[in-house]
């Protein structure tokens, strides 16, 4: 795991945006795994501003709520179109987001996995992290080998996401999410976490034991995972100074 701590979320986001921009320039038909939530918003704004060519880019989103229409303002479909896709020249047919209204959910999930494989696998996956360490909607105790499937949100996640729905009782309980096994097959994972609310989950994910009680900790086992932090989300790391030193003293050939 490479830990990149920057003074602000904006600075950390810029480094992540640079990596994605380079990938899209080097591989115009790259396959991106994308995330929702407030964390990647500024990343998407930066990518839009970079005016990259998305014509051949394929995208797969991590997750979606079950039972709400793609047109619902809080669906992850709406989120992605509103905050990224409608601002770039991505082709609608290349965008994949789980269908929260799928009639046969296991069949849909199976097909989603097959589409990722058919696309050649995910080159780069963007991840946020829940306050309890979840990635996508892989809640605590999710199997570390899990594939795309239905999950039930925990009370903590319902509470965290209530702000988007105007009340905890309005948040759907069920979701479709890529599995942890699916995420682990991405060739590269970029996890972004900002603010003091994420500090505990980040410290556990980066320096704690690899455990399904903090699903993001599985990235310790990933050969190419980068974690982008601001000062607040990095505050509980024991080796923060070391990570800063490593990043500031990267040999020129290793810089991104
Ligand atoms: C939801 C999403 C996750 C996201 C998390 C954190 O649970 N399914 O992908 O990482 O929220 O969201 P935020 O970035 O708003 O803190």
pLDDT confidence of residue 182: 98
Confidence band for 4, pLDDT divided at 50, 70 and 90: very high
Mean pLDDT of the chain: 97
Confirm or reject: Cβ of 216 under 6 Å from ligand 1.
no
Cβ contacts of residue 227 below 8 Å, gap of 6+? Answer: 1, 2, 3, 4, 191, 193, 202, 205, 206, 219
**Alpha carbons 73 and 164: distance in angstroms, whole number:** 9
pLDDT of residue 254 exceeding 90: no
Among protein residues, the one whose CA lies closest to atom 1 of ligand 1: 37
Query: Do residues 201 and 193 make contact, with C-beta atoms less than 8 angstroms apart?
Result: yes
Please report the beta strands in 169-252, taking only residues with DSSP state E, as ranges in sequence order: 174-177, 189-193, 225-229
What residues act catalytically? 63, 132, 134, 139
Confirm or reject: Cβ of 62 under 6 Å from ligand 1.
yes
Q: Which residues does residue 174 pair with via DSSP β-bridges, in sequence order?
A: 152
Percentage of the chain lying above the pLDDT 90 cut: 96
Q: Which atom of ligand 1 is nearest to the CA of 197?
A: 16
**Alpha carbons 187 and 137: distance in angstroms, whole number:** 20
Query: Do residues 140 and 132 make contact, with C-beta atoms less than 8 angstroms apart?
Result: yes
**Alpha carbons 170 and 161: distance in angstroms, whole number:** 10
Taking the centre of ligand 1 as the mean of its atom positions, its distance from the CA of residue 42, in whole angstroms, is: 14
pLDDT in tens, 152-208: 999 999 998 999 999 999 999 999 999 999 999 999 999 999 999 999 999 999 999
Confirm or reject: Cβ of 63 under 6 Å from ligand 1.
yes
Percentage of the chain lying above the pLDDT 70 cut: 100
Tell me the average pLDDT across 137-154.
98
pLDDT confidence of residue 253: 87
């Amino acid at each position: 795991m490479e830990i990149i701590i920057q003074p602000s979320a904006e600075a950390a986001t810029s480094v992540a945006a640079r990596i994605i921009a380079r990938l899209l320039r080097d591989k115009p038909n790259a396959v991106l795994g994308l995330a929702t939530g407030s964390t990647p918003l500024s990343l998407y704004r930066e990518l839009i501003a970079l005016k990259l060519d998305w014509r051949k880019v394929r995208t797969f989103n991590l997750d979606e709520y079950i039972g709400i229409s793609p047109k619902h303002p809080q669906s992850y479909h709406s989120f992605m179109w509103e905050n990224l896709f409608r601002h770039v020249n991505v082709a609608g047919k290349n965008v994949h987001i789980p269908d929260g209204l799928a009639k046969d959910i296991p069949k849909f999930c199976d097909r989603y996995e097959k589409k990722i494989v058919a696309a050649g696998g995910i080159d780069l996956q963007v991840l946020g992290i829940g306050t309890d360490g979840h990635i996508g909607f892989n809640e605590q105790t999710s199997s570390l080998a899990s594939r795309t499937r239905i999950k039930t949100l925990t009370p903590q996640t319902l509470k965290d996401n209530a702000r988007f729905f105007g009340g905890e009782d309005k948040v759907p309980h069920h979701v479709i999410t890529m599995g942890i096994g699916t995420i682990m097959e991405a060739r590269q994972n970029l996890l972004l976490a900002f603010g003091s609310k994420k500090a505990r989950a980040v410290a556990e994910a980066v320096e704690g034991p690899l455990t399904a009680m903090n699903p993001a900790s599985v990235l310790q086992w990933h050969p190419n995972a980068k974690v982008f932090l601001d000062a607040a989300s990095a505050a509980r790391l024991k080796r923060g100074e070391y990570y800063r030193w490593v990043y500031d003293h990267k040999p020129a050939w290793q810089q991104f």
